[in-house]
Structure 1
Amino acid sequence: MSKRSARPWVVDDELWSRIEPLVPLPYAGCRRPGRRRTLEDRKVLCGILFVLYTGIQWEWLPQELGFGSGMTCWRRLRDWNAAGVWQRLHEVLLDELRAADRLDLSRAVIDSSHVRALKGGPQTGRSPVDRGRPGSKHRVICDATGVPLAVTLTGGNRNDVTQLMPLLAAIPRIRGKRGRPRQRPKEVYADRGYDHDCYRRRIWARGIKPVNARRGTAHGSGLGTRRWVIEQTIALLHWFGRLRIRWETRDDIHEAFLKLACSLICWRRLRPTMR
């Protein structure tokens, strides 16, 4: 196994060149009390990725790896998320994927996945699929090839169809080619949980064609041959140990991990075109 694959949390020069311009300068424009930052942002990011990949608790972050303390990594993850770093990184990589013709917006696919929230907190709810235990849902929309376009976090008791329009609205304006940015796929695929005439009309009003099986009809519509990519994308998200179970009480920290994971999936898609 190569060194890179053995240590996926190590940030290489190419990825850091995209992240570094997005990271805000410490204490810019003001004087704040406390000790000066002595640990490089790149090393702290490696610590954040170590937690994301392994699912380890913050206080158990190995000090001998040189990533700093778990609290240092947690604070910068919080601050960078508040500054919009992860969202902008995701948008930058989507732009690059479109420029490299590795993004297919002819259709988009939507689905959600339930995760248990052991500590509760905002964006949790009594899950009907987990005996009423508190849980959250990862709601994902991807392109025709499985590239994540947007991800949101809601309570586990929220009905899927009510989150359809917010998820479509979360798709960023994707540049990378001449002309107007793309934000709308031509078609959107979903399962029966998203079938409702009211929402079909709202999707049509946005200039998007809804394609999903009707409730009450027999299975075997054949749409699964195009919807399977969203299952692949959700499986890739849950390959990150920290996303299989929600340990964070704060919803913004869990959302930060979600957006960072989406960016890493996009980065893996982009790497073959750079060799």
Structure 2
Amino acid sequence: MIRGCGVVRPKPWEVDAELWAVIEPLLPKVERRIRHPGRKRHPDRLVFQGILFVLHTGIAWEHLPKELGFGSGTTCWRRLAEWTEAGVWPRLHEILLAKLHSANALDFSRAAVDGSHIRAFKGGAKTGRSPVDRGRTGSKHHLITDATGIPLAATLTGGNRNDVTQLIPLLQAVPPVRGKRGRPRRRPDAVLAGRGYDHDKYRRLVWALGVKPLIARRGTEHGSGLGAQRWVVERVFAHLHWFRRLRIGWEIRDDIHEAFLTLGCALICWRRLASAQRRHS
């Protein structure tokens, strides 16, 4: 626990009972063999906290402190890979979006999109020579948020991919958001984007999805007013990159990096949900 000014706050990788009640049912059940059961499986909750410790601190798996009780770095990595293959993180994100929608905390009147470069020292899939980092190997995080800055979806590409190529995939990656009566919500009314997304072809594709494109034009003066609404996506990038494991692409396997990216989005949603619940209590 963190102590300061008489207030005891949980460490960011500690999982409270409320959050664990959401996560535990999503984890695949592993039955222990009756004959030759082998070593008892390390508790899922402690292993998940070990995964969060790596996400928050950026520490290498092999340096995960055993004295904290999370299990070995190998155990945590294997469990992360197992849960990723089982699709746990997208389902967690979708459930939390539904809870936010039920609490009237989601605003689909508009969405904002943007991309952010990160270094990728180990290379691997979904990396490329970054034009904004002297041609060094990197990746890109692409993000779409609602009007208030709640992450709706994120994608990962090589650092050499143009932001506009992810505009349609981001809109299509928004899950069906339940939480209210009627059909699930999947599309915002409008999407806001900067000059890097200024292509008439993509405007037509966005319109075809039933979404109004509000995209700044190249060669025009600043002052369109879009920046006053698009800043929310930049704030979410700042929150995502507070997770040190997401500041640099250390993972050779792109599915593991994407798992951390989706988990980071889900944790931001959980914090916003807790804030919304406090306001209404």
TM-score, normalised by the number of residues in structure 2: 0.94
Q: Counterpart amino acid of 2:210?
A: G
Change (3 A) 1:155 1:80: same
Q: Does structure 1 residue 164 correspond to structure 2 residue 170?
A: no
Separation in structure 2 between the aligned mates of residue 192 and residue 241 of structure 1, nearest angstrom: 29
Q: Does structure 1 residue 19 correspond to structure 2 residue 35?
A: no
Q: Does structure 1 residue 223 correspond to structure 2 residue 246?
A: no
- Contact between 1:161 and 1:194, CA under 8 Å: does it hold in 2? yes
SS in 1 for 2:41: coil
Per the TM alignment, residue 205 of structure 1 is displaced from its structure 2 partner at its CA by 1.1
Match of 2:124 in 1: 121
- Contact between 1:4 and 1:10, CA under 8 Å: does it hold in 2? no
- Contact between 1:95 and 1:176, CA under 8 Å: does it hold in 2? yes
Match of 1:74 in 2: 77
Per-residue deviation, residues 91-143 of structure 1 (Å, max 9, x unmatched): 00000000000000100000010000000000000000011111000000000
Alignment of 1:114-263 (within 5 A): 114-263=117-266
Query: Alpha carbon RMSD of aligned pairs, Å?
Result: 1.6
Per-residue deviation, residues 138-174 of structure 1 (Å, max 9, x unmatched): 0000000000000010000011111111111000000
Separation in structure 2 between the aligned mates of residue 193 and residue 241 of structure 1, nearest angstrom: 27
SS in 1 for 2:255: helix
Separation in structure 1 between the aligned mates of residue 12 and residue 121 of structure 2, nearest angstrom: 27
Per the TM alignment, residue 32 of structure 1 is displaced from its structure 2 partner at its CA by 11
Q: Size of the alignment, in residue pairs?
A: 273
SS in 2 for 1:141: strand
TM-score, normalised by the number of residues in structure 1: 0.96
SS in 1 for 2:191: strand
SS in 1 for 2:241: helix
The percent identity for this pair of structures is 66
SS in 2 for 1:226: helix
Match of 2:98 in 1: 95
Match of 2:9 in 1: 4
In the alignment, structure 1 segments of 5+ residues that lack a partner are none
Q: Counterpart amino acid of 1:164?
A: L
Per the TM alignment, residue 272 of structure 1 is displaced from its structure 2 partner at its CA by 2.5
Q: Counterpart amino acid of 1:59?
A: E
Per-residue deviation, residues 206-247 of structure 1 (Å, max 9, x unmatched): 110000110121222221000000000000000111111111
Q: Counterpart amino acid of 1:132?
A: G
Per the TM alignment, residue 37 of structure 1 is displaced from its structure 2 partner at its CA by 4.0
Change (3 A) 1:196 1:10: same
